[in-house]
């Protein structure tokens, strides 16, 4: 393959830290916070005056970097989450904007905390779900930002997985699991009243609660009972009658924009080939028209001030980094704030094209194809990159891995196989009990489509993915051993029996649904064994690269260890890397860059594409085993 003297996009530009990202305006509209690296290349929270270039660093995370945060409504604190080496035991920390003092709001050992509610009218309070009393169950605690005092507010009844507070910061709605794998919408009129079941979803249906209107008259939910796709519904809290706010016959509601004071939904997104917004509140119709004109591609509102005069807007496309703007509602003008990775502007990126085709049983599959913009004539080596979940989906937009592979000379297919979300419950449920079965057939059909379209060289097709995508790579190597020329597995399970036996304790309420979708080890042990690559390691004929995080709570290190051991005993070629300070995926840029350097070298060896010499990568925690 000719290099044509074209410089490759450096891996640290694609997989290193963003230059600046996640800008959020303070509630009073006077300051802007964002995440950016410090002098040691660790992501921290910074803050500046909205109209000045006087940014100061607020946090001092020593190693892992901060990846999510929000402004508290007390005008004093920012709150962020952090775990230890990827163990997903997230604590909540509050940093004082003025003094930079950091306080652990959840100082309990081996817990996982997540924020349920914070409200502008109760600026000192947070409602937080913490599994402190029982590792399997989260209860609701009320935490004071000023004092750090933590009080048990709402105990878990035994199967609740999510809660919703009204405008008075009272937990009055909840989502619980059922023994059959379905879900239940619980409601109580006040904190002293018992929970009542108001709506049930079977194991083949889905529902979630968005929130109350501030007047308490409506509760907004997303659900697909009496429909194929998830619809936005408003439930009258007096009569419990439902009314449809927005729906699409084929695509699920994917996002909503809710007014932070009234609690009413203003716009609804459906992620089709691309995201399509439907405005349901006429008061923002002109704003959305103005936002569409800021920049080609897609947009989303990511932050608003308390007065709702200023919005932070993210504009994204498939061929460049995300650009953020400060939008003034009064003038309908947008001011550029920052780009996540301006160094990308120096390179010509490959467009991502939506595609669709029929699977072997007639089911329509959707996905995205990225073909190298510098492609020479004829067939090209190709990577089938499989998304994780599997109850998730690939989307249109900038994708660092797709651009990396295309830049190295490979076509990239990202396929939303059956069982992926976003396409309605019929498509989702078509994946039940199909790990390694029809879900895998869809991926094989994607390969055949690439060949039929005269895109892929049939002798040079690789499969790669993380989590479920890693499982799919292992399944391909064992169940269709001659279809691909090599495979890359990132934190993928190899044995469905041990995967289910070692799920995190806080997933216990979801176990029945997991059994419904994957299989029950108590009654379907042989079936799960038949879909587990570990038991068929002797069938492997292609080289494997396997990467694992040592602290992964979802797919334990043993999932990789056992198939590596079995494959090597059978004399199969396996390269194995363990990152000692990572979990389910790699967060630290040093580890990310190291892994993709190893993967790039591996793919070039078997597909023949370009690769950037690995060089020295300081600070990574990789162990080659």
> What residues act catalytically?
467, 552, 584
**CA 350 to CA 50: how far, in whole Å?**
35
Lookup result for tokens 């105990």: 155
Task: Name the H helices within 4-88.
Answer: 11-15
The distance from CA 295 to its chain's CA centroid, rounded to whole angstroms, is 24
388, two tokens? 């994780």
545, two tokens? 């690269």
**DSSP 3-state of 242:** strand
Q: Which of 534, 538, 557 is nearest to 547 (CA)?
A: 557
Count CB atoms within 10 A of the CB of residue 170.
16
Backbone angles phi and psi of 326, in degrees to 5: -100, 115
Residue 500, C-beta contacts closer than 8 angstroms, at least 6 positions apart: 511, 514, 515, 518, 519, 521, 528
Torsion-angle region of residue 85: left (phi > 0), alpha (psi -120 to 50) or beta? left
- Residue by residue, DSSP assigns 249-300 as SSS-EEEEEE-TTT--EEEEEEESSSEEEEE--GGGHHHHHHHHTTSSSEEE
CA separation (Å) from 381 to 350, 482, 536, 540? Answer: 15, 16, 27, 21
Decide: residue 29, CB within 10 A, 0-12 exposed, 13-18 middle, 19+ buried.
middle
């Amino acid at each position: 393959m000719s290099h044509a003297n074209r410089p490759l996009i450096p891996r640290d530009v694609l997989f290193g830290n963003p230059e600046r990202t996640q800008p959020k305006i303070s509630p009073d509209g006077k300051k802007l916070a964002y995440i950016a690296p410090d002098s040691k290349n660790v992501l921290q929270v910074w803050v500046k005056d909205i109209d000045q270039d006087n940014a100061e660093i607020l946090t001092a995370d020593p190693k892992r970097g901060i990846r999510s945060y929000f402004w508290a409504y007390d005008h004093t604190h920012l709150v962020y989450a952090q775990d230890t080496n990827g163990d997903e035991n997230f604590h909540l920390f509050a940093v004082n904007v003025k003094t930079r003092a950091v306080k652990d709001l959840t100082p309990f050992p081996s817990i996982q905390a997540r924020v349920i509610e914070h409200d502008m009218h109760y600026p000192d309070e947070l409602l937080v779900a913490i599994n402190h009393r029982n590792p399997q169950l989260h209860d609701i605690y009320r935490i004071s930002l000023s004092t750090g005092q933590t009080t048990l507010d709402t105990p878990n009844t035994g199967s609740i997985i999510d809660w919703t507070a009204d405008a008075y910061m009272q937990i009055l709605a909840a989502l619980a699991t059922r023994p059959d794998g379905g879900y239940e919408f619980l409601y109580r009129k006040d904190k002293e009243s018992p929970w009542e079941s108001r709506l049930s979803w079977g194991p083949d249906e889905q529902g979630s609660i968005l929130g109350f209107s501030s007047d308490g008259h409506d509760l907004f939910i997303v659900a697909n009972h009496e429909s194929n796709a998830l619809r936005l519904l408003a439930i009258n809290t007096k009569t419990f009658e439902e009314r449809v706010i927005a729906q699409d016959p084929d695509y699920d509601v994917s996002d909503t924009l809710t007014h932070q004071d009234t609690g009413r939904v203003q716009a609804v997104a459906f992620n089709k080939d691309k995201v399509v917004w439907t405005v349901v509140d006429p008061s923002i119709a002109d704003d959305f028209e103005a936002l569409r004109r800021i920049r080609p591609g897609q947009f989303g509102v990511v932050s608003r001030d308390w007065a709702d005069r200023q919005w932070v807007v993210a504009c994204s496309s498939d061929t460049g980094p995300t650009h953020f703007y400060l939008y003034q509602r009064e003038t309908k003008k947008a001011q550029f704030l920052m780009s996540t990775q301006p160094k990308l502007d120096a390179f010509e990126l490959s467009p991502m094209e939506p595609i669709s085709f029929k699977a072997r049983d007639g089911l329509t599959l959707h996905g995205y194809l990225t073909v190298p913009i510098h492609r020479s004539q004829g067939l090209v080596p190709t990577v089938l990159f499989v998304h994780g979940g599997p109850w998730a989906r690939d989307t249109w937009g900038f994708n660092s891995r797709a651009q990396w592979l295309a830049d190295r000379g490979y076509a990239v297919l990202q396929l939303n196989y059956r069982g992926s979300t976003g396409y309605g419950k019929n498509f989702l449920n078509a994946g039940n009990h199909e790990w390694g079965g029809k879900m895998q057939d869809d991926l094989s059909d994607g390969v055949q489509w690439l060949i039929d379209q005269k895109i892929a060289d049939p002798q040079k097709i690789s499969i790669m993915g993380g989590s479920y995508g890693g499982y799919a790579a292992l399944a391909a190597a064992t169940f269709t051993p001659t279809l691909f020329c090599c495979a890359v597995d990132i934190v993928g399970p190899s044995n469905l029996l041990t995967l289910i036996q070692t799920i995190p304790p806080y997933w216990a309420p979801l176990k029945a649904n997991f059994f419904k979708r994957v299989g029950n080890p108590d009654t379907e042990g042989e079936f799960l064994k038949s879909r587990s690559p570990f038991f068929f390691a002797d069938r492997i004929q292609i080289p494997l690269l396997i990467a694992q995080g040592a602290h992964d709570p979802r797919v334990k290190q043993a999932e990789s260890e056992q198939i590596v051991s079995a494959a090597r005993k059978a004399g199969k070629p396996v390269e194995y890397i363990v990152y000692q300070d990572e979990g389910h995926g790699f967060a630290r840029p040093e580890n990310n860059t190291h892994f993709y350097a190893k993967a790039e070298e591996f793919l070039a060896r078997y597909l023949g594409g370009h690769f950037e010499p690995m060089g020295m990568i300081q600070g990574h925690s990789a162990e080659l085993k």
